[in-house]
Structure 1
Amino acid sequence: MSDWDRRRVPFKFQLSDLTLFSLEITLQMRAESLVDNIEAVASPGVPGDALLEGSEGFVVRGMPVCGPLEVLTRVGGYLRYVPQQYQHCHIDLRQTFEEYQKKFSSKTRSTVNRKVKKFADHCGGALNWRLYKEPEQMREYFQLARQVSKLTYQERLLDAGLPDSEEFLREAERWAAAGRVRAYILFDGARPVSYLYCPVTDGVLSYSYVGYDPEYMDKSVGLVLQWMAVQQLFEEGKFLYFDFTEGSSDHKRLFSTHQRHCANVYFVRRGLRNAAILYAHAAMDRFSAWSGAVLTRYGLKSRLKRVLRFSQ
């Protein structure tokens, strides 16, 4: 495979959810797809493709690996950097919704159904959620979803909210015209409270942008919308997988049918600037993990994360 996308890749220096600054290296990137059925590797090697002009190396996201990898290793003329290793979660949509529900214990099904009913009762007895998939619906979708996104910690702290640009909207309209967008919003009356935006590639829906109004955190609106979206996708029966992409969380593990150990693997040409960025980034990650462990030990981590995420 040689479908590389060259871009300036940011290395964000973070303490928990707080981004202090970022530095960039130009790399050529690709992400492994669920439909490719890539075999797990024990020790990833440098890709055999040629470097594009201006590129300092490669990054492969979602690479299946056999087990934990060293964070920083020299591989020939490159530094192999593995900042993220995680259980890659996805839902196999090639079944019925009734079959999917059997993966949950009776207790979990009861909990999910109770939360859905609780929010429906809050809304007057019925859920108000909408699917957006047509190009003429995209502008309305983004206007509504952006109302929620600007409130989320993903946007305020991580610069990872739903993009607010005409260029991104036009791209969404093109994808929708090709049948390659499924986007959802959950409402409380006329107020949007949660959104989920999923582009589609080769029959795989990507969990690309998601967020909820922090005022509704105790009402589990993210879980409610996810449940309704998954049910709709099973009923539609057009897609292969729902890919929760990078990282793992209780939410992703709850809804997934399969998990696989994966890593984001960088191969960066050895040099003073590149090495300084990678080693400093790895050190910051270690410090963030250490400080998080200390805060957890004293019962302060969850309180601090809540302040960072939901303070205005």
Structure 2
Amino acid sequence: MSHWQFLPVPFKFQLSDLTLFSVSLPLQVRAERLLDDTAPVRVPMPPVGELLAGSQGFVIHALPLAEPSPPVRRAGNYLCYVPQQYEHCYIDLGIGFERYQGKFSAKTRATILRKVRKYAEHCGGAIAWQTFRTPDELARFFRLAGTLSKTTYQERLLDAGLPDSDKFRQQALVLAGQDRLRAYLLYSGERPVAYLFCPVEDEVLSYAYVGYDPAYIHLSVGTVLQWLAIEQLFGEARFRYFDFTEGQSEHKRLFATDRRLCGKVFLVKRSLRNCAVIHCHRMMNRLSSWLGAAMARLGLKARVKRVLRFVR
């Protein structure tokens, strides 16, 4: 089990992928890891005797749940808030690539391989892509992926692009020096069009940062790079899991071999301000979900998302 970190944790108020504003609370943070083999929890409760001075409570990422949890409930002097409950997706890299391919239906596997062949044709016959793993290689990755990241909707709308700070790059150099990093770029000619950045902890790669050029969405460049990277990782036989981390999506479900019910669980001290933040955040999430469902019924959701990906 990982130790607590004491951090300002932002509550992002979003409509769909668009962040309107955020409010932060000082909380103790930890994440349950795949290798921890944590037993699923039926009723999340605040840890006893671990609250630090100035802390407003706790947040536990990827906590395995025995059953769906109420979004908000009282837990003694705390509020238990579970804004995300999802199927935590991951790939068991120990099963071998042949068996991995067998997890897909014949139709799905054919669709993926068709996308790979289509991109190869776009590249003139051979796909141009690159793996970065050593400190010497990272300078080129950060230069190219950093420029690409600024074009992606992950950075423009979600504030989830590749970090551009000396501290982040120094940490990456340390990981690369310990063979605890894999990063990937997919090219169209000389132009980078998709990237993956995966740090490693205890033989588990994390799907930490990902992005693609929205001008190449019609060529499924994210899917193509994911497939190539997974095939190479099976060939390395170096790691145990590929962890798709928090949240769920069709992409994660498609490539995963395993899933487990998890939640992002906040256990926050009950106060007027904290209660206001949590209940307003929940109301905004419900409004966002309602608007998303309404747009889907009207056939507008996919169209609006495509427009937002090009918003600058």
TM tier relative to shorter chain? over 0.9
Query: Is 1:158 matched with 2:165?
Result: no
Letter in 2 for 1:146: G
Distance 1:50 1:237, change over 3 A: same
Q: Which residue of 2 aligns with 1:56?
A: 56
Q: Which residue of 1 aligns with 2:10?
A: 10
Q: Which residue of 1 aligns with 2:256?
A: 256
Check conservation: 1:82, 1:266, Cα contact below 8 A: yes
Check conservation: 1:2, 1:49, Cα contact below 8 A: no
- The SS at the match of 2:302 is helix
**Stretch moving more, 301-310 or 53-62:** 301-310
Check conservation: 2:2, 2:31, Cα contact below 8 A: no
Per-residue CA distance 1:110-159 (angstroms, 9 max, x = gap) = 11111101101100100111110001111111111112110111100111
Q: Which residue of 2 aligns with 1:93?
A: 93
1:53 and 1:45 map into 2 onto residues whose CA distance is: 19
1:177 and 1:266 map into 2 onto residues whose CA distance is: 35
- The SS at the match of 2:137 is helix
Letter in 2 for 1:9: V
Alignment of 1:26-41 (within 5 A): 26-41=26-41
Q: Which residue of 2 aligns with 1:190?
A: 190
Q: CA deviation at 1:303?
A: 1.4
1:69 and 1:259 map into 2 onto residues whose CA distance is: 17
Letter in 1 for 2:80: R
Q: Which residue of 1 aligns with 2:124?
A: 124
Distance 1:201 1:49, change over 3 A: farther
Alignment of 1:113-152 (within 5 A): 113-152=113-152
Q: CA deviation at 1:95?
A: 2.1
Q: Which residue of 2 aligns with 1:47?
A: 47
Query: Is 1:305 matched with 2:305?
Result: yes
2:247 and 2:187 map into 1 onto residues whose CA distance is: 27
Q: Which residue of 1 aligns with 2:84?
A: 84
- The SS at the match of 2:79 is strand
Check conservation: 1:25, 1:56, Cα contact below 8 A: yes
2:128 and 2:304 map into 1 onto residues whose CA distance is: 33
TM-score (norm 1): 0.98
- The SS at the match of 1:158 is coil
1:156 and 1:85 map into 2 onto residues whose CA distance is: 25
Unaligned runs of 5+ in 1: none
TM-score (norm 2): 0.98
Q: CA deviation at 1:49?
A: 4.4
Identity of aligned residues (%): 56
Q: Which residue of 2 aligns with 1:226?
A: 226
Q: Which residue of 2 aligns with 1:177?
A: 177
- The SS at the match of 1:259 is strand
Check conservation: 2:204, 2:242, Cα contact below 8 A: yes
Distance 1:49 1:200, change over 3 A: farther
Q: CA deviation at 1:306?
A: 1.4
Letter in 2 for 1:260: R
Per-residue CA distance 1:202-228 (angstroms, 9 max, x = gap) = 110000000000010000000010001
2:171 and 2:147 map into 1 onto residues whose CA distance is: 20
RMSD: 1.0
